Amino acid sequence: MTAPVTASVSFQTSPSILEGETLPRSSVFIAGQDQYLRAVDLHTGKPRWKVLTTSPLENSPAIYGDVLYQRIPSKGLACYETFPNEYAGKLKWTAEDVNGNVITTTSQGRLVCWDNNTKQLQILDSHIGAITASVSLPTAKQVLASDTTNGALFILTEDDEIIRLAP
């Protein structure tokens, strides 16, 4: 679910009653085993948009404002607009060399992605999906973030040690 996005009131009424008012636009985003990535209106249940991907989706999308990031197995990390004016969705970019999930962002707005299979932590430019840094963590069992935005990273090692990386 996203934070409310405001949209201007689009029906005719007395200007004095609703002057300057906006109605929230909220959606639920669903990554499905049926290969579809969907946006559904939270209030009406009506579909806003959907995209058929190349394989079943195993992870939840990460939503940051007006964009959504979804890992697509065997394809990479894809970036979509959250509220496009098209029912077919709007892909902004795909980073084929990124196979991890977005777990947080940096203070500069870059994406932090963790790939548990290759034990790689990657930092990406959020505007174009280019990798700006990569770190191999071969003894990591799991990497978690304290927050989805500018979160500290906690690395659980194979020796059950916990390492904290501050933002």
Instruction: Give the pLDDT confidence of 18-30 residue by residue, as tens digits.
Output: 444 444 568 999 9
Which residues partner with 149 through β-bridges?
none
pLDDT digits (tens, 9 = 90+) for 133-152: 999 999 999 999 999 999 99
CA distance 126 to 124: 6
The whole-number pLDDT of residue 14 equals: 44
The whole-number pLDDT of residue 166 equals: 82
For residue 36, is pLDDT > 70?
yes
Q: How much is the average pLDDT of 98-110? A: 95
- Please state, in angstroms and as integers, the Cα–Cα distance from residue 76 to each residue in 2, 47, 90, 100, 166, following that order: 23, 25, 16, 8, 27
Question: Does domain 1-7+23-96 correspond to CATH entry 2.40.10.480?
Answer: yes
Same fold yes or no, 1-7+23-96 and 100-167: yes
Q: Who has greater pLDDT, 26 or 93?
A: 93
The whole-number pLDDT of residue 11 equals: 44
The domain limits of the chain are: 1-7+23-96, 100-167
Angle at 46 between CA 90 and CA 94, to 5 degrees: 20
Q: Who has greater pLDDT, 12 or 46?
A: 46
- Percent of the chain exceeding pLDDT 70 equals 84
Mean pLDDT score of the chain: 88
pLDDT digits (tens, 9 = 90+) for 2-23: 555 555 444 444 444 444 444 4
The whole-number pLDDT of residue 5 equals: 53
Question: Does domain 100-167 correspond to CATH entry 3.60.40?
Answer: no
